[in-house]
Amino acid sequence: NISEIGQQVKKILEADFIETLEELPQKLEEKPYRAVVFDSVELEELGLECCRHILELPKMQNTPLLVLSTDFDVNDKLQAFEFGCDDLVDKDSGIDEVCARIRKSIFNKIAHNQLSQRLEMATDTARSAMVDNSDLGANIQFLLSVHSCDNLDQLGQLFFATIERYGLVCSLQMRGDVVVKNMEAHGMAKDLESQLLIQLKDSDRYIDFGSRTILNYERVSVLIKNM
């Protein structure tokens, strides 16, 4: 059943609604949706197994899945992320925050698609900046270029341009004295990844779960998504 806040999301975002998961494959065939929200507020459990089945649908490969729920902890977030959920949203955050998180996931997907379209050009640009074709040369060039960065955004983009040669897909968090900067390769932040990094920053140096690894340092954490 759709929850009260789910009804509000449906109205504000003019979303389509289905009552059972069996209806979803046909619904996804009818038109391209920018995001899917799984409303588990009225369920007795979080319903991540249902999310896993949803994400296995062919039409969901390029569509963000958000889970609207309540009463979840960091382990639930880890499992949701491992399954491929784009975000886990607490219904007690309020309708404005819930809708903002849904819109942000959509914007992140659009930015990711635009980044993929420019990937070949970005790869050529990054490689031309290397002092040579070796990994050592790329790392040296990164260290030299760090000093010319004027802000955390430039530093983050330099990091992503450098690790592209290794074929890694990462989320980056840089913690300054005044601001915490979260970034994806397209320049924006993703909420679930940002929450995991801030909640686990004081844990072990290396945290492995599934095919993901978190690397923690004093001021920097990196989540490798395709380890």
Lowest mean pLDDT among 93-97, 107-111, 190-194: 107-111
The answer on pLDDT for 118 being more than 80 is no
The model's pTM is 0.66
Taking alpha carbons only, the member of 218, 169, 224 closest to residue 196 is 224
State percent of the chain over pLDDT 90.
54
Q: How confident is the model at residue 208, as a pLDDT?
A: 93
Confidence class of residue 122 from pLDDT cuts 50, 70 and 90? low
The answer on pLDDT for 127 being more than 60 is no
The answer on pLDDT for 103 being more than 50 is yes
Q: How confident is the model at residue 131, as a pLDDT?
A: 44
